[in-house]
Chain A
Amino acid sequence: MDRRSLLVASVAMALVFGVLVLGATLSPGWETVQATFFDWGHARDSFPAIRDGFWLNVKMFLIAEPVILVLALAVALARQARAPWLVPLRVVAVIYTDLFRGVPTILLVVLFAFGMPALGLQGVPLDPFFWALVALVLSYGAYVAEVFRAGIESIHPSQVASAQALGLSRGQAMRHVVVPQAVRRVVPPLLNDFVSLQKDTALVSSVAIFDAMFAARDYANYNFNYTPLVVVAAFFVAMTVPLARFTDWLQRRYAERERAGAVR
């Protein structure tokens, strides 16, 4: 940017954000809002409990993400299978995605965390944390499977033809030609779903799992102050932004290597 554009951009930024901040702080109820949501003392006091709870959210996310990737890719591939004896697998995959994408995630969490242990079956874990995790995996597995499927279907059939002409089987063509290209293509929507998953780990607070959200609500109900909710929000933002930047970087690296001159 030259100096003139830089100046214009700065003035525009100052103007827009100035108006937004003034609009909020000059509104008649600002003092009440500030005391209820943005109280420094409450933020400091609730911080340790939220931080400890947040570790649980991070743990859930870190466990769920790889499992979701594997499950979703398996489901997407099952839907692509063409062999007649795999038809049952295809039907199961279709029913699974339709069902689990349709049910609101919070309902899945409640149904699994309370319902599964209540079955009283031997060998079935009783830990609601485990079942809440399963609910998140199943819900997001269905979304991510569709992302993978879209990616797989976006690869031109001529790629498969040329793999087959080389003597590769359908499975090998998928493994070595279609899936690697599809995965690169779907990284941005995949990231989108994972940011969404990170946030939805907060849903486990609805089944009395002591995560960051539960800790914040606990504090808020006890002290009649909602500042801890803003603190939780800040935690989630702090986790998702670096992930987004990392993915951008990854995408750019692929693009630079594989696409001639299409980067800038």
Chain B
Amino acid sequence: MLTSFRFEQGPRVSDALLEVENLRKSYADRLVLDEVDLTVSSGDVICLIGSSGSGKSTLLRCLDLLEEIDDGVITFEGREVSDPRVDRRAVRGRMGMVFQAYNLFPHLSVLDNVTLAPRKVHGVARAEAEERARELLTRFGLAEHVTSHPDRLSGGQQQRVALVRALATRPALLLLDEITAALDPELVADVLDSVRSLAAEGTTMVLATHEMHFARDVATSVCFLEQGRILEQGPPSQIFTEPREERTRQFLRRVLPA
């Protein structure tokens, strides 16, 4: 069972939770990620910003080992996970991912959506998994929807269920892929508040977002991606007020109306 899974083999490469070195990824002859370096330490909230097609989503999918990478090294919890011999399932079991389109399982109730991975992947007993699920669902204001099916909920509620589903396995790292992009404006706030409260308690996250105000508030570090490269990285106070790169300035001028 994966609950007892620990990365004990191999030398510890660094103290960072996740380290990406010189990552390269292409689809056919189109380079989508190039020379990407990224370090995520425990408690970090890293926001990836940049226009559509800049590689934010692909980067997150590569981190979760959902995509094959062409070159580079990804180290997670002290172990090189980009090695093809690594058990990808075990790595994914330690990360939580939330998608833009929720991707909940429509045939399962909210509770079963949340308990599926703990029970089937981590070998948690049903009663225990359900107890934790109910706790989390209550915390995110979903207590009354436990037995509903996902399609009965609003977009914001569905996305919060997806967030709870990702948290249910107690992941070491949470990856959020533009999780408010598909929501009506008035529903964005309640999902962002949930993420904000997770950040406040020290959850380590990497998130792609178009919500600049949110990034400015919660990020410990902001990465601006442009054509598959991290063009600029820095604390939000610097990126949003005095960006080093002209391209970053142009991008922020476009998305942050004065």
Give residues in A with beta carbon < 8 Å to B.
Answer: 158-159, 161-169, 172, 176-177, 180-181, 184, 257-260, 262
Contact across chains for B92 and A184 when beta carbons are under 8 A apart: no
Any A CB within 8 A of the CB of B2: yes
Indicate whether A162 sits within 8 Å of B89 (C-beta atoms), given known contacts A258-B151, A260-B151: no
The winner among B2, B104, B117, B153 for most chain A CB atoms within 10 A is B117
Nearest chain A CB to B43 CB, angstrom units: 22
**Measuring CB to CB, which residues of chain B are less than 8 angstroms from any residue of chain A?**
2, 64, 66, 89-90, 92-93, 95-97, 99, 101, 103-107, 116-117, 120-122, 149, 151-153, 165-166, 169
Are B103 and A161 in touch, CB under 8 angstroms? yes
Ordered by A's residue number, 12 sampled pairs between the chains whose C-beta atoms are within 8 Å are A158-B99, A158-B103, A162-B105, A165-B166, A166-B117, A166-B121, A166-B169, A167-B90, A167-B117, A168-B116, A181-B107, A258-B149
How far, in angstroms, from A262 to B149 measured CA to CA in the complex? 13
User: Shortest distance in angstroms between B60's beta carbon and chain A's nearest beta carbon?
Assistant: 10
Residues of B within 8 A of A165 (CB): 64, 66, 92, 95-97, 99, 166
- Shortest Cβ distance from A179 into B: residue: B107
Q: Please name all residues of chain B whose beta carbon is closer than 8 Å to the beta carbon of A258 when the two chains form the complex.
A: 106-107, 149, 151
Considering the chains assembled together, what is the distance between the CA atoms of A168 and B115 in angstroms?
Answer: 12
Bound Cα distance A180, B117 (Å): 16
Q: Are A159 and B103 in contact (CB under 8 A)?
A: yes
List residues of chain A with CB within 8 A of the CB of B96.
165
CB distance from A77 to the nearest CB of B (A): 18
Chain A residues whose C-beta falls within 8 Å of the C-beta of B93 in the assembled complex: 166-167
A158 CB contacts on chain B under 8 angstroms: 99, 101, 103
Least CB distance from A175 to B in Å reads 9
Q: Is the CB of B97 within 8 A of A259?
A: no
Could you say which residues of chain A place their CB within 8 Å of the CB of B152? 260
* Contact call A162/B107, Cβ cutoff below 8 A: no
In the A-B complex, list the 3 residue pairs whose CB atoms are closest, starting with the nearest: A167-B93, A162-B103, A166-B117
**B101 to A177, Cβ gap below 8 A?**
no
Complexed CA–CA distance, A260 and B120 (Å) = 28
Give B160 Cβ to nearest chain A Cβ, in Å.
15
Asked if A168 and B120 sit within 8 Å, CB to CB, the answer is: yes
Pair A176/B66 contact, Cβ less than 8 Å? no
Given contacts A161-B66, A258-B107, 11 further A-B contacts (CB under 8 A): A161-B103, A162-B104, A165-B66, A165-B95, A166-B121, A181-B105, A181-B106, A184-B107, A258-B106, A258-B151, A259-B106
Could you tell me if A159 and B105 are in contact, using CB atoms closer than 8 angstroms? yes
CA distance A168 to B64 in the complex (A): 13
Tell whether, in the assembled complex, residue B92 and residue A172 are in contact, meaning their CB atoms are under 8 Å apart. no
Closest beta carbon of chain A to B127's beta carbon, Å? 19
B89 touches A167 (CB 8 A): yes
Q: With a CB–CB cut-off of 8 A, which chain B residues contact A259? A: 106, 151
**Bound-complex Cα distance A166 to B89 (A):** 8
Contacts of B95 in A (CB 8 A): 165
Output the nearest chain B residue to A262 by Cβ-Cβ distance. B151
Please give me the residue from chain A that is nearest to B97 by CB atom.
A165
Q: Tell me the bound Cα distance from A167 to B103 in angstroms.
A: 15
Given A161-B66, A257-B149, A260-B152, does the pair A166, B116 have CB atoms closer than 8 Å? yes
B230 to chain A, nearest CB (A): 23
Cα-based distance from A166 to B113 in the complex (angstroms): 11
Are B97 and A167 neighbours in the complex by a CB distance under 8 Å?
no
Q: Evaluate contact between A166 and B165: CB separation under 8 angstroms.
A: yes
**CA distance in complex: A166, B151 (Å):** 20
CA distance A260 to B99 in the complex (A): 21
Chain A residues with CB below 8 A from B104, complex form:
162
CA distance A162 to B122 in the complex (A): 16
A260 to B148, CA, bound (A): 10
Chain A nearest Cβ from B57, distance in angstroms: 11
Name the residue on B nearest A258 (C-beta). B149
Give the chain A neighbours of B122 by CB distance below 8 A: 167
Using CB atoms, name the residue of chain A closest to B150. A258
Q: In this complex, which of A165, A176, A180 has the most chain B Cβ atoms within 10 angstroms of its Cβ?
A: A165
Nearest-CB distance from A165 to chain B (Å)?
A: 4
Contact of A167 with B107 in the complex, beta carbons under 8 Å: no
Question: Distance (Å) between the CB of B134 and the closest chain A CB?
Answer: 18
Among B92, B96, B107, B116, the most chain A Cβ lie within 10 Å of the Cβ of B107
Chain B residue at minimum C-beta to C-beta distance from A181: B107
Query: In the complex, A177→B106 CA distance in Å?
Result: 9
The distance in angstroms between the C-alpha atoms of A162 and B149, with both chains bound, is: 17
Known contacts A158-B99, A169-B89, A258-B151, A164 near B66 by CB under 8 Å: yes
Report the separation of the CA atoms of residues A184 and B149 in the bound assembly, to the nearest whole angstrom: 15
A145–B92 CA distance with the chains assembled, in angstroms: 32
B101: chain A residues at CB < 8 Å are: 158
